[in-house]
Amino acid sequence: MRTEFEESLHRAVDGRAGREDLLALAGARGDEVRALLGAALSVRLSGGRSVTFSRNVFVPLTNLCMNRCAYCGFRRDPGDPGAGYWEPGRAARVAAAGEAAGATEVLVSSGDRPEAVHGEAALWLRRHGYRSTVEYAADVEDRILRSTDRVLIHTNVGVLTRDEISLLRPLNASMGLMLESSSPRLSGPGMPHCCSPTKDPRVRLRMIEDAGSLGVPFTTGVLIGIGETWEERVDSLLAIADLHARYGHVQEVIIQPFSPEPGTPMWKSPPPDPVDVAKVVAVARLIFGPSMPLQAPPNIAGPSRPLLLSAGADDWGGISRLTPDYVNARHPWPSEEELSREADALGMRLRPRLPVYPRYLLGGWLPEGLRERALSMSDEEGYARA
Ligand SMILES: O=c1nc2n(C[C@H](O)[C@H](O)[C@H](O)CO)c3cc(O)ccc3cc-2c(=O)[nH]1
Ligand SMILES: C[C@H]1O[C@@H](n2cnc3c(N)ncnc32)[C@H](O)[C@@H]1O
Ligand code: SF4
C-alpha cells in the first residue's frame, strides 16, 4: 500500500502532479523529505550530470531605488554614504577588465526606477543627458558592446515597460526579473513588500509576460524566507511554470534564500532552514522537469551547496573574481575550483555557461546583432553548444 504522500510523489515524477500533490510534497517531514529529494534528484539526473555557472562581472548602475524592500541591503537613500549612480565610464572599464579575466557575462543591475521618487536621481540623469535609469542602462550597454568582443550582457534593473524591454533587447543576450513571490499578501502593511510598488506580483507577472511575448530569453525566480507560506511558494512556482508554458522563454528559475542584511528591517529575521530551501528546489524540479535549469546562489548557500545539488539544483548563476555580490555583500563568491571539487564529489561535472542558455542560441531568440558573438563564444572549449 502506498501512502497519499507516495502517490503524490509518483505522479510528480511522471510529470502529472496537480497543485494538491505539490502541496502534499511541500509538507514532507522526516523520511518523506529524503524521498522527495531523492525523486527530484533522479528527475534531474535523467537530464544529465552537469552543474553550470556563469563567469561574470557585476555592474550595479545605481543603488537608488523607488522601492523599500524590507530585506534589501543594496538600496541607499540619496545622501547616504555610497549612494548614487556609477559614472558612465566605470561600467565599460569593469566590463573590459572582466573580459580580460575571462568573464563572459556582464550583469547590469540597479534599483527600480529611482527617478520616480528621488529628485536627486532625476537631476543626475538629466545632467548626464538621460531621461531615465533605463535609458542610461541602454547607453552604458551600448558602450560595453562597442568596447568588447567576448562578453554578453544580462540586465535586471527591475520592472520595465514593454517599450523599455524593446529598447534593451538588442543589447542583451537575456534579461531577468525575480518574481520573488506571487503573493499579494507580502505587500500588505508590515510585510516586506509593503513599501515597494513594483514588487506587486501582478506588476512583476505582467513584465515577465511582456518579455515572453517579445521573445526575450528570461531569468526569474522566487525569494524564500520573507514570510511566505508553503502554499504561496508552490503557487509562485506554478505562476512561473504557467508563463513558461505560454511563451517558452523562461531559461532558468532562481531559488534565492533570504539572507539577513545589516541595517535592514529584516536584519533580525532568521534565514530559511537549508532543508526547507532544498525542499523548494525539489518541488521546483518536479514542477519543471529535467530540462529547466534551477539556479541557487552558491555564496548564500555556502555549506548547504551539496544539499541543494542533491535536491535537484543544477546551476550556480554568476560568480566573479573581480566584483563582489553587491546585493549580499557579506557573502564572498566561492572559487570555480571549490565548486568543481564539490560537483565531482557527487559524481557531477562543473561547466561554464553563457548568460543565455544553449537552447536559446538558435531559433530567433537572440537579437541579430549579438548572434555571431554568442555563437562564437559558445564554441569556446567547455561551453555547451547550440
Ligand atoms: O535575472 C537575475 N539575475 C540575477 N543574477 C544573475 C545570475 O546569477 C546569473 O548571472 C544569470 O542567471 C545569468 O544567466 C545575480 C547575480 C549576482 O551576482 C547577484 C545577484 C543576482 C540576482 C539576479 C536576479 O535577481 N535576477
Ligand atoms: C537581486 C535580487 O536579490 C534578491 N535579494 C535582495 N535582498 C536579498 C537578501 N537580503 N537576501 C537574499 N536575496 C536578496 C532579490 O530576489 C532581488 O530580486
Ligand atoms: S531588492 Fe531591488 S527593488 Fe527592492 S529595494 Fe532592493 S534594489 Fe530596490
Query: Which ligand approaches the C-alpha of residue 220 most closely?
Result: 1
Pairing type for strands 152-156 and 105-109 reads parallel
- Substitution candidate for ligand 3 out of 74, 187, 222 with most atoms within 8 A of CB: 74
68-92 tens-digit pLDDT: 999 999 999 999 999 999 999 999 9
- Complex prediction ipTM: 0.94
- Residue 349 DSSP one-character state: E
In a domain, 5, yes or no: no
Query: Contacts for 201-209 with beta carbons within 8 Å, 24 or more apart?
Result: 201/239, 203/159, 204/159, 204/177, 204/178, 204/179, 204/180, 205/179, 205/239, 205/243, 207/159, 207/160, 207/165, 207/177, 208/177, 208/179, 208/240, 208/243, 208/250, 209/243, 209/246, 209/247
Residue 89 counted as domain residue:
yes
Map residue 274 onto helix, strand or coil.
Answer: helix
pLDDT, one tens digit per residue, over 22-51 is 999 999 999 999 999 999 999 999 999 999
CA pseudo-torsion sign 298, 304, 305, 308 = negative
CA of 244 to the centre of ligand 3 (A): 24
Terminal alpha carbon distance of the chain: 46
* Residue 11 within any structural domain of the chain: no
SS3 197: helix
Q: What is the pLDDT of residue 384?
A: 77
pLDDT (0 to 100) of residue 366: 97
Q: What is the mean pLDDT of residues 147-174?
A: 98
Would you say residue 60 has pLDDT above 90? yes
Note the residue count of the chain.
386
Cell digits of residue 241:
511554470
Distance 74 CA to ligand 3 centre (A): 7
> Quick one: which atom of ligand 3 is closest to the CA of 111?
7
What is the distance in A from the centroid of ligand 1 to the CA of 221?
10
190-212 pLDDT per residue, tens:
999 999 999 999 999 999 999 99
Ligand 1: residue of 104, 156, 168 to mutate (most ligand atoms within 8 A of CB) is: 156
- Residue written as grid cell 534565492: 256
Q: What is the CATH number of the domain that holds 145?
A: 3.20.20.70
Any idea which ligand is nearest the CA of 225? Answer: 2
Confidence (pLDDT) at 338: 98
Distance in Å, CA 295 to ligand 3 centroid: 20
Q: Using the structure block, give the residue that is written with the C-alpha cell 518541488.
A: 283
Residues ≥6 apart with Cβ < 8 Å to 87: none
The region that residue 263 occupies, defined by phi over 0 for left and psi between -120 and 50 for alpha, beta otherwise, is left
Is residue 238 in some structural domain?
yes
Mean pLDDT of the chain: 97
- Give the whole-number percent of the chain exceeding pLDDT 70: 100
| pLDDT above 80: residue 218 | yes
Does some domain include residue 3? no
How much is the pLDDT for 386?
65
C-alpha span between 354 and 318 (Å, rounded): 10
Element (H, E) at 338: helix 336-345
Confidence bin at 185 (pLDDT 50/70/90): very high
**Within a domain: 10:** no
In a domain, 4, yes or no: no
| Number of domains observed in the structure of the chain | 1
Please write down the long-range contacts of 127-136, taking CB distance under 8 Å and 24 or more positions apart: 128/85, 128/88, 132/164, 133/61, 133/62, 133/157, 134/160, 134/164, 134/167, 134/168, 135/167, 136/61, 136/85, 136/88
Nearest CA-CA partner of 52 in 373, 290, 366, 336:
336
Structural domain contains residue 189: yes
Cell, residue 71 = 530585506
Nearest ligand, measured from the Cα of 61: 3
Q: Which of 162, 93, 167 is nearest to 136 (CA)?
A: 167
More reliable by pLDDT, 379 or 384? 379
For ligand 3, is residue 69 a contact (CB within 6 Å)?
yes
Note down the domain range covering 123.
16-378
Helix (H) or strand (E) holding 145: helix 133-146
The C-alpha torsion from 73 through 74 and 78 to 83, rounded to 10°, is 120
The reported pTM is: 0.97
Q: What is the mean pLDDT of residues 171-200?
A: 98
Ligand number nearest CA of 54 is: 1
Question: Is-contact 231 23, C-beta < 8 A?
Answer: yes
Residues with a CB atom less than 6 Å from ligand 2: 71-73, 178, 180, 223, 256, 258-259, 261, 327-328
> What distance in Å separates the CA atoms of residue 364 and residue 368, rounded to the nearest whole number?
8
* pLDDT computed for residue 46 by the predictor: 98
pLDDT per position as a tens digit, 237-286:
999 999 999 999 999 999 999 999 999 999 999 999 999 999 999 999 99
| Band of pLDDT at residue 385, cut at 50, 70 and 90 | confident
Cell numbers describing residue 217: 530569453
